[in-house]
Structure 1
Amino acid sequence: MLKKTLLTAVIAMTMSACVTSPTGRSQFIFMPDNQVNQMGLQAFDSMKSKNPLSKNQRYSQFAQCVAYSLTREVGGQWEVVVFEDDTLNAFALPGNKIGVHSGLINLVDNQDQLAAVIGHEIGHVLSRHSNERLSQETAVSTGLSMVQAVAQPQTALGQTALGLLGVGAQYGVILPYSRIHETEADTIGLDLMAKAGFDPRQSINLWLKMDKAAQGGQPIEFMSTHPSHASRIDNLNQHMNQALQLQQQAWNMGKQPRCAK
């Protein structure tokens, strides 16, 4: 009886964790957002205490100008910090925290290319990707995926649960989901930069520069788990016409960022 009651409770909790991302993709999320946000705040504070911050005011002003132009489109209070780090990287954490490495600022040619990266990272936050990953991995460790797979194996969530079992937990679902998240963040970031008035076409130039830098042997932490450059650019091109329309609408509303590197 206790086992049946526990099974029912777990199934109910798991079913309530089915949500939809901003692009319409089905997600499995059950971690409280405030808890995930607190984790993001703690991680950001730790990074600031352990890693050197850039003393280049021009870099900080540039990154903040670009980031704040983007975050005005989504609302909330965001903190933006430039770290003194030569790697080509940027990130955004739950709790509205944005970090940019000085190496990335050195790489980009203009505000639009930096907006492509920061917009992508904000896309991860808007899509609650951190919560989704935590929820998936928590489900694996607690056995929730096993219960859901047995209970409703034909549902999308049930299929995800099946993939999380055994070897699938390492190769079948969780790692590929990272690539799904990256593609989703690309799409959201492209629209976001366009809505803020940045030129979305520069996102293509940015990834071409990243590709060239990678071939030159530069460390690119940002690209470590991302889709191939070709598939990323193809996805961006598929959404470019819509993004250009959003940019024109932004310009008609007077949104024309002027962030000088």
Structure 2
Amino acid sequence: MKKIVVLVVTVFLFVECSTVPITGRKRVNFVSDAQVLPASFAQYSNFLKENKVSTNRKMSNQIKEVGKNISAAVDRFMRANNMVAEANSYKWEFNLIEDKTVNAWCMPGGKVVFYTGIMPICANENGVAAVMGHEVAHAFAKHGQERMSQGQLQQIGGIAVALGTSGKSQETQQIWNMAFGIGSQLGMLKFSRTHEQEADRLGLVFMIMAGYDGREAAEVWVRMSEKAGGKKPPVILSTHPSNESRIQDLRNYLPTARKYAAQFNAQANNEIKK
């Protein structure tokens, strides 16, 4: 099994780590924006052609207005932190889709969709800002690119196991392949939960930077929990943290998010006055 260890270690030695701004989390990402964004924009365009854009002008305008305010806050942050090229790569767009699904998402490059089904959970403008901040944070932290990178590393790990067990019995190969499959899948789920918590925290910072009430972020998940009616899979088998843990984490992180947003906004205002 030394071959497995050597190959996997070699791969990780050549993979560069970067840091997610604000949270400081180290991430492995070797998928460039140039590789991802053209496909992301094309997929978003096709999605809009194949799905019904809501004709509810009031809700649609709210989505666009909140999206504009939060994306402007993110843009200011990136430009103030030497991320100008990255800021220029975003092509922000916000649309409301007529669909009862309780969901919203943001593709790499700033293409956002809300479904009408999530609007009762948002309940108000601050709730929309909480969900918007969370989804925009996924794109900001490059979670999509990181998942692609993790998927490629998972494939390489599978190849390493196959090479390392090539001279073993079929039974041994099956045991190792099963162990790797279960372990890597649980690892990917853990990464997904990490991304969700990070997006919660970044989104909280961004919505406060944009002038919204951060207290509503936890309340969105209170309403989400009430709608779920207590039905949930075990956390270890879930792509998302439990509603209860998200509510508590958002409430605990609120003072930190407020402090960070206040410091940044004060710094930005001082720069404008100079």
Deviation at 1:107, TM superposition (A): 3.3
2:181 and 2:41 map into 1 onto residues whose CA distance is 33
State whether structure 2 residue 112 is matched by structure 1 residue 98.
yes
The match for 2:250 is 236
1:231 and 1:139 map into 2 onto residues whose CA distance is 29
Deviation at 1:247, TM superposition (A): 6.0
1:144 and 1:14 map into 2 onto residues whose CA distance is 18
The match for 2:173 is none
The match for 2:59 is 59
Matches within 5 A, 1:100-139: 100-139=114-153
The match for 2:83 is none
> Where does structure 2 lack aligned partners over 5 or more consecutive residues?
1-6, 76-89, 165-178, 232-237, 270-274
1:41 and 1:120 map into 2 onto residues whose CA distance is 20
Q: 1:209 aligns with which of 223, 232, 257?
A: 223
The verdict on how the C-alpha distance between 1:244 and 1:140 changes in structure 2, with shifts beyond 3 A counting, is: closer
Matches within 5 A, 1:64-213: 64-75=64-75, 76-143=90-157, 146=160, 165-171=180-186, 173-213=187-227
The verdict on how the C-alpha distance between 1:69 and 1:145 changes in structure 2, with shifts beyond 3 A counting, is: farther
The verdict on how the C-alpha distance between 1:18 and 1:145 changes in structure 2, with shifts beyond 3 A counting, is: farther
The verdict on how the C-alpha distance between 1:34 and 1:251 changes in structure 2, with shifts beyond 3 A counting, is: closer
Partner of 2:64, secondary structure, is helix
1:148-200 deviation line (CA, Å, top 9, x unaligned): xx9xxxxxxxxxxxxx94421222x1111100100010010001101111000
The match for 2:3 is none
On the 8 A contact 1:79/1:97 being kept in 2, the answer is yes
1:194-233 deviation line (CA, Å, top 9, x unaligned): 111100001111111111111299xxxxxx7321111111
On the 8 A contact 1:77/1:96 being kept in 2, the answer is yes
Identify the range of structure 1 (185-194 vs 10-19) with the bigger mean alpha-carbon deviation: 10-19
> Where does structure 1 lack aligned partners over 5 or more consecutive residues?
1-6, 151-163, 218-223, 256-261
The verdict on how the C-alpha distance between 1:50 and 1:240 changes in structure 2, with shifts beyond 3 A counting, is: same
1:242 and 1:143 map into 2 onto residues whose CA distance is 38
Normalized per residue, the structure richer in helix is: 2
Q: Which structure has the greater CA radius of gyration?
A: 2
Identify the range of structure 1 (129-138 vs 242-251) with the bigger mean alpha-carbon deviation: 242-251
Question: What's the Cα RMSD here?
Answer: 3.1
Partner of 2:114, secondary structure, is strand
Provide the aligned length of Structure 1 versus Structure 2: 227
What amino acid does structure 2 have at the position aligned with 1:52?
K
Identity of aligned residues (%): 34
The verdict on how the C-alpha distance between 1:201 and 1:178 changes in structure 2, with shifts beyond 3 A counting, is: same
What amino acid does structure 2 have at the position aligned with 1:168?
G
1:252 and 1:26 map into 2 onto residues whose CA distance is 27
- Relative to the length of structure 1, the TM-score reads 0.77
